[in-house]
Structure 1
Amino acid sequence: MDFSFFNTNKVVPVVVLNSIDETIPKLSALKRGGINVAEITFRTSCAPDCLALAVKTFPDMLVGVGTIINKEQCVKALDLGAKFVVSPGFSKEVAEECISRDVPYIPGVITPTEVMMAKAVGLNVLKFFPASDFGGIKTMKALSAAFPDVRFVPTGGVGESNLHEFLEQKFVLGAGGSWMMKGTESDIETASRRAVEIAKEYI
């Protein structure tokens, strides 16, 4: 699995779309703000259509999918062109599907047991979620001591005010969040620019 996109994309926007009509305007705002990656969550009924439209409209953008909790969802998303897959927790069947297609999979973990489950199938880039509710940097640092080859992508409680605190940690590969998706298209563009400005120090 190739996670080199984190070399130039330290911030992964978590994008919840409630209508297919939101897809192009919101992703366009991200791009104007300098962010060329998006995690479209499978939380809404229109998500598959939004994903398909995003992949078609923005071929140069790294469009992935989030909130994938089973193999069926994973297969559907990958068939629609998702370039990476994110889960709130670890799923062996989702991991196996992504590995078989050589698509980056970032499962959510909190405990040492979950980290070991992910590592057992060859994964070492893991989503730490929900970060703020389970000790944030302190917990990731403790896990990193036991698993020095693991790199985390904290999500949940990450925002503009603390983004730099996460990205400066050597065990953090990037960070996910939805803080830049609030408000108007102009708001999204502005928040994206600020996120990119903060993140560029760690690229």
Structure 2
Amino acid sequence: MPLNYTHLITEYDGDPSVFDPERRNWKAPTRTFVSKINSLPLMVHLPDFAPRAPENEASYDRAQKSVTEPEEWLSIGVRAGERFFIQDAALNSGRIYDRAKFIESHSGPTNLRFGGPAVVKYERRAELRHGLVEFRPLGFKADEDGNGRNTRLFFNEVDGGDVTFIKCHASGSPIENNHRNICSHSFVLYPAGHTSLAFEHSGKTLRSLLAARRKQ
């Protein structure tokens, strides 16, 4: 894997975990093109998804020093091999993410000190958003700010199954205007490979990506 794509530590099949004390005295073997990757953290530039390079080095350095600016870098986590935990039955069914369980896990009582409803319940929106099925929690004001339970849930539905799961905090409206609105994505590359990907970005990064797509 080219080093200018990687970020932090790449784990290969057979490597001790980064949290394992024995890793302190462990010496990594020589890697080859047949070495199997278990987990790989990538960092790419947006909107071109280019790796770190001399022409974007200054932007990369600024991104390491700020949580809000610039918005054009995306960290992607890749899991495969021993770190790929999705069962074959789910992969073959096409129902990678259990929509009912995800919605249930985000529902329930809230802390009334932060405002919002006493109990979070989700409702499916009639229209797709960016091509995704959207569920919104009931009882929150459109411009409500700072409530961690105000979370939008999105699913990419293909042939009756959900192959992508996205959740976004929704402080203020629209969610694309607030850098504190963190969206997390999870999806798999099956059947091309037993590999799952996950990444997070802010609402403002999403706005920049959508603007770049409209220009194409």
Calculate the TM-score normalised by the size of structure 2: 0.26
| Pair member with larger Rg | 2
Structure number with the higher strand fraction is 2
**Higher RCO (CA-CA < 8 Å; seq separation 6+):** 1
Q: TM-score, normalised by structure 1?
A: 0.27
